[in-house]
Amino acid sequence: MFDWWFRIKFWKRVLLGFVLGTLAGWAFGKDAEVWFGPIGDLYVTLISMIAVPLVFFAVINAVASLSGQKSIAALAGRTFLWFALTAVLAVGVGLLFGWLIQPGAGVGHLVVASDYVPRTVPGPLDMLLNLVPSNPFQALGGAATAKLADGTKVLVPRSGTVLQVIFFAGLVGFAMVKLGDKVAGVRTLVGEASVLMIQVTRYVLEFTPLGTFGLIAALVGGYGFEQLRPLLSFVVALYLACAFHIVVVYSGLLLAHGLNPLKFFRGAAPAMEVAFVASSSFAALPVSLRSATHNLGVDRDYAGFAVPLGATIKMDGCGAIYPALAAVFISQYAGIELSLTQYLIIALASVLGSFGTAGVPGTAVIMATVVLSAAGLPLETIGYLYAIDRVLDMMRTMTNVTGQVLVPVLVARETGLLDRRVYEAAVSNVGVPAGDAAEPVSGKE
């Protein structure tokens, strides 16, 4: 009955929801938040429902399977290395565009957003201790929905974080490897549960076009252009910097690995779209995982480990480009000339801080606070940017998620865990295909 709908490529359906949502928001104004906002809220809740169990079973299955074929420590080390290298490049892009566009020069007097509350930055020891859940069942219930000051509904950690889920699931996976045949039944059950959650994910993702419509309609209807006008140069600088990082830097890395960038962007498009409209790496996680395996041919076991990890600590947009650009903007606005030492401090703080603030709500604001503090810049000035944070977060998050899919592709290519046939035939559909056709199974070269 709905085969015609499923035959339309996923990205086109999401794009249609985006366009119609924009028109609805423009036509209905503030009423769009009331009429269409609940549709977007429902979509965010559905994603929240599936994300944690999907990660839990995927990581257990991944650790148990990878231990038998590849050194998971070597894979993890290679993945972390690429996380760090791409973060360094992202910081450089942020600083470059801050220097080229000069977003803080000539800006009139700005007022700190009325709803801005200074963030307390957790210490390094707190971050490390937070990796271990005191109660794994609380960690598994670690995602909740909350509303920001502007009414936007977002996903936030509750009593645990995704990193805690990954930590506990990793321990369970290693225990299964150690016990071998003694837990053969449990291993089979976990594998079947992982497949089951993938199928549930496919169903939920079919709601994405409608959820996109609701989220964008509420955003456009509730957001006035007057809020953007004073900081339009900063918005332009951020969007250009993120676009450059995605199109130029990521494409260069793909070409260096002998991979066609157009194939990558076609396969990653669904995750990028969801990230843009939902402004949450966690919300995009199920789509990112499907895009990496189903569309781009990354080995499912490796992707089940790398993509969730990336969703918590791989933040090229929020943790690298934005803090670097914000530091340059604030220095220009305040008339403070940055020294070479301060530039180096900004770069180092951005890269290290992006790993350290994993799982903390409002990562971008936390990261900017860390970088400004390290560089000796006035902390309260981050409140100038807070009023437009939702618009900034769309592009930041899309950059985050693109990197979270890119790194597993690069590592899979280097280690023989990439199915080139799937990659070269990259598709953009991650939902239920017409006729419920069987999905490709990613393997190895």
Supply the DSSP string of 130-148, one letter for each residue.
TTS-SSHHHHHT-EEEEE-
**Higher pLDDT, residue 248 or 205:** 248
Neighbouring-strand partners of residue 418: 298
Nearest C-alpha neighbor of 248 from the set 298, 314, 321, 312: 321
Q: Does residue 171 carry a pLDDT above 80?
A: yes
Burial (0-12, 13-18, 19+ Cβ within 10 Å), 168: buried
Q: What pLDDT sits at residue 309?
A: 86
Q: Are the C-beta atoms of 161 and 130 separated by less than 8 Å?
A: yes
Q: Which long-range contacts (CB under 8 A, 24 or more apart) does 106-110 make?
A: 107/230, 107/231, 107/233, 107/333, 108/230, 110/230, 110/231, 110/333, 110/384
> Hunting for tokens 């670690």 — which residue is that?
142
Q: What pLDDT sits at residue 443?
A: 40
Q: What pLDDT sits at residue 405?
A: 96
Nearest C-alpha neighbor of 54 from the set 260, 343, 358, 287: 287
For residues 42-76, one letter each, b for 16 or more C-beta atoms within 10 angstroms of the residue's C-beta and e for the rest, the string is: ebbebbbebbbbbbbbbbbbbbbbbbeebebeebb
Q: What pLDDT sits at residue 356?
A: 58
Q: Does residue 329 carry a pLDDT above 80?
A: yes
- pLDDT (tens digit, 9 = 90+) per residue, 105-156? 777 666 656 555 656 555 556 666 667 777 777 777 754 445 554 454 444 4
- pLDDT (tens digit, 9 = 90+) per residue, 382-430? 777 877 788 888 899 999 999 999 999 999 999 999 999 999 988 877 6
Range in 38-52, 132-146, 225-239 the model is least confident about: 132-146
**Higher pLDDT, residue 391 or 72:** 391
Q: What pLDDT sits at residue 243?
A: 97
Neighbour tally for 1: CB within 10 Å: 4
Q: Does residue 247 carry a pLDDT above 90?
A: yes
For 161-172, what is the mean pLDDT?
Answer: 81
Q: Are the C-beta atoms of 288 and 314 separated by less than 8 Å?
A: no
Cα–Cα separations (whole angstroms), residue 163 to 139, 153, 158, 170, 299: 9, 22, 13, 10, 21
Q: Which residue ranges form the domains of the chain, and what is each CATH number?
A: 8-425 (1.10.3860.10)
